Amino acid sequence: MGDSRQSGLLEFARLIAKTSPSAEQQLEFLTKLQRLFAEGDFTATYKFALLIVLSDLAVELGADDGSELSLTTPMLNPSG
């Protein structure tokens, strides 16, 4: 059996792929992501750092109309 946190995030990701998420759904996703950050066991810190950068960029640059967010590699380097 899979981790319930992982299956919940996958289910939410499928929902987002089909429709534009409501404000409530976006907050629910961020809450789950924060829980993952707090409770997750990260064996590779670069994966954790990448997940944080991606979530920050999604919040800062994402449009509320459901349009795709395009990111470039330089955008993923917070120190650059």
pLDDT in tens, 10-46: 776 766 566 677 788 888 888 888 887 777 776 667 7
As for how many domains the chain has, the answer is: 1
> Which among 56, 43, 24 is positioned nearest to 16, based on CA atoms?
24
- Report residue 13 CA to chain centroid gap: 9
User: What is the token pair recorded at 13?
Assistant: 């990701």
In terms of residues, how long is the chain? Answer: 80
User: What is the token pair recorded at 47?
Assistant: 């994966």
Rounded to whole angstroms, the Cα distance separating 27 from 21 reads: 10
Please, are residues 19 and 66 in contact by the beta-carbon 8 Å criterion? Answer: yes
In the predicted structure, residue 77 carries a pLDDT above the cut 70: yes
pLDDT interval class at 3 (50, 70, 90): low
| Structural domain boundaries, residue 63 | 4-76
User: What is the token pair recorded at 33?
Assistant: 């992501």
The letter for the amino acid at 70 is S
What was the pLDDT predicted at 17?
64
